């Protein structure tokens, strides 16, 4: 069994989902990615339309004319040989060092438990597990955001069951969460004890085409001022709305309850 898990663990790729319209995010994304995860053991792919990112560490997957989010993603997945993928949005910037050994351990645990999905960042939902030694736990069926397009490990065959051509990223999260309830595979996330010590720490960059205020300040402090000039910063009202929504999700986590559909 251990040999099987080890072999599975090596069959993983990182897929950064993007398109040419968001090419201004590629340099800050990969600058932060390789700064904070220099020993990433997995091949890294970037999904684009026609352009290539000029870095030998990144393999650009050109899918041609932009169709819709799900169709583009299906095309990208068809170009990746690995059976496991870490999906990563191009506006989720790493902001702290990644412990590779810890990531390897989490992936092995997920595979050992026959997970089809493991969310790797510590926001809602967090698994409500009784054993404090458990770093991940199962997301019950019927929970909102059981599927999240942020930073997550997927068994590719499970992801292919979730995706439907014609859907947006928001549709995938909403409708994909509902579709996941009909699958036999388990869906996992980090346990609540990982909230203050997550394996991956990131900053969310874009809301409706505009810089999230924290991301704007973070990238400026990272010395990437030239990369943040071509987009406006979100309005104060957008900022407060997003903060209120995140606060609501944090309340669910703190009360140790799930938001169910």
Exposure b/e, 52-71, CB count within 10 A at least 16 = b: ebeeeebbbbebeeeeebbb
Structure tokens at 30: 């990969």
Could you give the domains of the chain?
Answer: 2-202 (3.90.550.10)
User: What is the structure's pLDDT at 3?
Assistant: 43
Three-state secondary-structure class, residue 226: helix
Structure tokens at 8: 């599975």
Task: Tell me how many degrees the CA angle 71-72-78 measures, rounded to the nearest 5.
Answer: 90
Three-state secondary-structure class, residue 159: helix
- Residue 240 CB partners (closer than 8 Å, separation 6+): none
Tell me how far apart the alpha carbons of residues 80 and 55 are, in angstroms, rounded to a whole number: 18
User: What is the structure's pLDDT at 239?
Assistant: 87
Task: Determine if the pTM surpasses 0.75.
Answer: yes
Q: CA dihedral defined by 196, 8, 143, 184, rounded to 10 degrees?
A: -160
Q: How far is CA 247 from CA 165, 217, 239, 240, in A?
A: 32, 21, 12, 10
Point out the residues of the chain with pLDDT beneath 50: 1-7
User: What is the structure's pLDDT at 194?
Assistant: 87
Mean of the per-residue pLDDT values of the chain: 92
User: What is the structure's pLDDT at 51?
Assistant: 98
* φ, ψ of residue 206 in degrees (nearest 5): -130, 135
Structure tokens at 134: 């458990």
User: What is the structure's pLDDT at 8?
Assistant: 52
User: What is the structure's pLDDT at 248?
Assistant: 86
């Amino acid at each position: 069994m251990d040999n099987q898990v080890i072999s599975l663990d090596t069959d993983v790729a990182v897929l950064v989902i993007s398109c040419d319209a968001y090419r201004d995010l590629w340099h800050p994304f990969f600058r932060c990615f390789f700064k904070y995860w220099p020993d990433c053991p997995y091949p890294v792919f970037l999904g684009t339309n026609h352009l290539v990112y000029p870095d030998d560490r990144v393999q650009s997957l050109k899918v041609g004319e932009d169709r819709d989010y799900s169709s583009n993603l299906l095309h990208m997945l068809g170009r990746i040989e690995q059976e496991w993928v870490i999906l990563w949005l191009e506006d989720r910037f790493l902001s702290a060092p990644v412990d590779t050994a810890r990531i390897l351990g989490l992936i092995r645990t997920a595979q050992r438990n026959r997970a089809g999905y493991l969310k790797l960042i510590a926001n809602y939902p967090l698994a409500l597990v009784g054993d404090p030694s458990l770093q991940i736990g199962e997301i019950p069926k019927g929970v909102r955001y059981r599927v999240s397009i942020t930073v997550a490990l997927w068994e590719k065959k499970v992801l292919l069951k979730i995706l439907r051509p014609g859907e947006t990223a928001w549709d995938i999260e909403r409708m994909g969460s509902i579709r996941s309830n009909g699958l036999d595979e388990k869906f996992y996330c980090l346990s609540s004890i990982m909230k203050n010590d997550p394996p991956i720490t990131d900053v969310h960059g874009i809301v409706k085409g505009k810089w999230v205020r924290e991301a704007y300040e973070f990238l400026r402090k990272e010395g990437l001022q030239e990369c943040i000039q071509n987009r406006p910063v979100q309005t104060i009202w957008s900022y407060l709305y997003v903060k209120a929504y995140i606060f609501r999700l944090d309340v669910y986590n703190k009360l140790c309850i799930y938001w169910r559909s």
